[in-house]
Amino acid sequence: MDPQSLTIAATRAAVQERRTTATALAEDFYQRIEKQDALIGAYLTLSKERALAKAAEIDALAAKGRELPPLGGVPVAIKDVMVTRGVRTTAGSKILGNYVPPYDCTAVARMESAGAVVLGKLNCDEFAMGSSNENSAWRPVRNPRDLSRVPGGSSGGSAAAVAANMAVATLGSDTGGSIRQPASFCGVVGLMPTYGRVSRYGLIAFASSLDRIGPLAKTVKDAALVLRTIAGRDPMDSSSVDVPVPDYVSELGKPVRGLKLGVPKEYFGEGLDDEVRKAVETAIQKLATLGCEIVPISLPHTKYAIPTYYIVATAEASSNLARFDGVRYGYRAGDARTLSEMYRRTRGQGFGAEVKRRIMLGAYALSAGYYDAYYLKAQKVRTLLAQDFAEAFKKVDAIVTPTSPTAAFKLGEKVDDPLAMYLADIFTVTADLVGIPGISVPCGETKERLPIGLQILGKHFDEATILQVGNAFEQN
């Protein structure tokens, strides 16, 4: 079976119709991982036992002729920031190097309940902090399209695994662009749902008011299927919202004719690579020919998004990462004579440079005398950004932009320049701050055959529309 042809529906059908078995498929994927992943580095931990047990369960169902659940037998993999019972979960950090969680992340449990076979845990930037996957404490991930380039981040492993057919679909997490940007760099689809749409229970927190779990997949339809599986209120997450979850897949085919698509001028200014601009403009043209009405709009506070993001996200991170203190689990530095020495050494040795940089930035923004000027001010700007979008969505049904200002850059190109690295998220962070959903869909390549992504942003809880637009674009 050609792995590239394996969408979720095709995989499930093959197992259902007994043209293959879930077990054979899983073995097949593990073989491919073994062959390719030494070069790519997408996987951190394989959960073979758990995968094969699930596959056997699905095969037994299929053998009895029972109807398989929506993801029955589909090999998937999980970004290593989601906890998995009995399977090592490191968040890409040395500080959790030996950590085996006693419980499952809600989204992972829902994937398995829907029949998915979880192959393993995927590499990522440490605690999801990064835009190139070079901040993984274990090893960088390489872009399957060009091994000299980064896959994007922080869900670099999640994007690379899909791009290299080492999983049919994966779960990633997005705090400032961490699903959409790597999807764009690796030429796959990446969907960030509305804040509150998918439970965060079991997602190792980076910035609680921003973090979201979402799918990376080959097609918009697959992303829709996975979202349908993981979405919905979870009593274990107070911020998950009880909004009905539509059947995204059946809404995909709705015609896009007459939909109004906003094009914000702020997203096409300085810093945007020419090839990316051309590809995105062509994509917008195509959507126009499909009957969408293209509406020029303005999101005037866009330029404040990056600084706002780096205050809110780091402030929350400084608190969220306090629990990694060497007391109860994870890495503990030896030879400390006092408690504070144990804390300092554990955290000094356990965290990587970028994580420490962000903890310090965040602690500073929250400290007495600076809180009003930084954290409080950032929250106010967040409100202004939300107003920008509320105004825009009075006029349009969705907003289209480039996902990233450039295609995938070279490994090492930006590691010594944190600010340049932060700007890789310039078109994605705003949606995180505002809480709206966004999807990145492949929209062409550069001359060097590097993928380019089209970002579609939607109204709160209106993933259906952006999936619909993405699907129409993808199918035509």
Partner 1 sequence: MATTPEISVAARAKYEPVIGLEVHVQLLTVTKIFCSCSARFGALPNTNVCPVCLGLPGALPVLNRKAVEFAVLAAMALHCRINQTSIFARKNYFYPDLPKGYQISQYDKPLAEFGAIDITSSGSQKKIGITRLHLEEDAGKSLHEGFPDSAEKTAIDLNRSGVPLIEIVSGPEIASPDEAYEYLTRMKEIILYTGVSDCNMEEGSLRCDANVSVRPRGQRQFGTKTEIKNVNSFRFIRDALEYEIVRQIAVLESGGKITQETRLYNSAEGKTYSMRSKEEAHDYRYFPEPDLLPLVVDEKSHAEIRHSLPELPEARRKRMVADYGITDYDAEVLTASKTLADEFELAAKAAKNPKRVANLVQSELMGRLKAKGLEIASSPISMKGVALSADLVESGAISGKMLKDLYDLCFERNQDFPTIYENARPQQITDPAAIEKIIDEIIATNPKQLEQYRAGKKTVIGFFVGQVMKASKGQANPQMVNELLAKKLEPNA
Q: Catalytic amino acids?
A: 79, 154, 178
Residue nearer to partner 1 on the CB measure, 275 or 325: 325
Contact 73, 169 (CB under 8 A): no
Note whether 360 binds partner 1 by CB under 8 A.
Answer: no
Q: Which of 208, 349, 387, 446 binds partner 1 (CB under 8 A)?
A: 208
Amino acid at 242: D
Choose the stretch contacting partner 1; rule: CB under 8 A; options: 15-23, 89-97, 109-117, 462-470: 89-97
Contact 62, 18 (CB under 8 A): yes
Note whether 250 binds partner 1 by CB under 8 A.
Answer: no
Residue nearer to partner 1 on the CB measure, 96 or 272: 96
Note whether 236 binds partner 1 by CB under 8 A.
Answer: yes
Tell me the C-alpha distance between 37 and 120, whole Å: 12
Note whether 268 binds partner 1 by CB under 8 A.
Answer: no
- DSSP class of residue 247 equals -
Helix %, strand %, coil % of the chain (to 5) = 45, 15, 40
Residue nearer to partner 1 on the CB measure, 131 or 318: 318
Please provide the DSSP assignment of 165-223 as one string: TS-SEEEEEESSSTTHHHHHHHTSEEEEPPTTTB--TTBPPSSTTT-EEEEEESSHHHH
Residue nearer to partner 1 on the CB measure, 268 or 343: 343
Choose the stretch contacting partner 1; rule: CB under 8 A; options: 12-20, 93-101, 180-188, 259-267: 93-101
Q: Which two tokens stand for residue 57?
A: 């369960």
| Span 438-467, contacts to partner 1 by CB under 8 A | none
Tell me the C-alpha distance between 204 and 116, whole Å: 21
Choose the stretch contacting partner 1; rule: CB under 8 A; options: 82-90, 111-119, 225-233, 256-264: 82-90
Note whether 325 binds partner 1 by CB under 8 A.
Answer: yes
Least Å from the CB of residue 321 to partner 1: 8
Tell me the C-alpha distance between 440 and 426, whole Å: 14
Residue nearer to partner 1 on the CB measure, 10 or 100: 100
Tell me the C-alpha distance between 222 and 312, whole Å: 32
What is the torsion angle, in degrees rounded to the nearest 10, for the CA atoms of residue 132, residue 136, residue 141 and residue 147?
Answer: 70
Least Å from the CB of residue 269 to partner 1: 32
Q: Which of 147, 339, 373, 384 binds partner 1 (CB under 8 A)?
A: 339
Torsional sign, CA 444, 447, 450, 454: negative
Q: State the helix-helix crossing angle for 8-16 and 48-63, rounded to 10 degrees.
A: 60
| Span 295-324, contacts to partner 1 by CB under 8 A | 315-316, 318-319, 321-324
Contact 208, 313 (CB under 8 A): no
How many Å separate Cα 207 from the centre of its chain? Answer: 14
Least Å from the CB of residue 313 to partner 1: 11
Choose the stretch contacting partner 1; rule: CB under 8 A; options: 40-48, 97-105, 113-121, 291-299: 97-105
Least Å from the CB of residue 305 to partner 1: 18
Q: Which of 151, 153, 176, 202 binds partner 1 (CB under 8 A)?
A: 202
Q: Which two tokens stand for residue 77?
A: 């993999």
Note whether 102 binds partner 1 by CB under 8 A.
Answer: yes
Least Å from the CB of residue 99 to partner 1: 7
Note whether 293 binds partner 1 by CB under 8 A.
Answer: no
Amino acid at 294: I
Choose the stretch contacting partner 1; rule: CB under 8 A; options: 55-63, 181-189, 277-285, 360-368: 360-368
Note whether 42 binds partner 1 by CB under 8 A.
Answer: no
Tell me the C-alpha distance between 462 and 438, whole Å: 10
Q: Which of 46, 91, 161, 225 binds partner 1 (CB under 8 A)?
A: 91
Least Å from the CB of residue 237 to partner 1: 5
In a 13 Å sphere around the CA of 248, the CA atoms on its Cβ side amount to 28
3-class DSSP state of 254: coil
Q: Which two tokens stand for residue 359?
A: 């903890």
Q: Which of 32, 293, 300, 343 binds partner 1 (CB under 8 A)?
A: 343
> Which residues lie closer than 8 Å to 407 by C-beta, 6 or more apart?
185, 273, 275, 276, 445, 446, 448, 450, 451, 452
Pairing of strands 43-46, 293-297: unpaired
Least Å from the CB of residue 18 to partner 1: 37
The residue count for binding partner 1 (CB under 8 A) is 44
Note whether 337 binds partner 1 by CB under 8 A.
Answer: no
DSSP lists the bridge partners of residue 400 as 456
| Span 216-235, contacts to partner 1 by CB under 8 A | 235
**CB atoms near residue 256 (< 10 Å):** 20
Give contact residues for partner 1 (rule: CB under 8 A).
82-83, 89, 91, 96, 99, 101-103, 105, 200-205, 207-209, 235-239, 315-316, 318-319, 321-325, 327-329, 339, 343, 363, 366-368, 371, 375
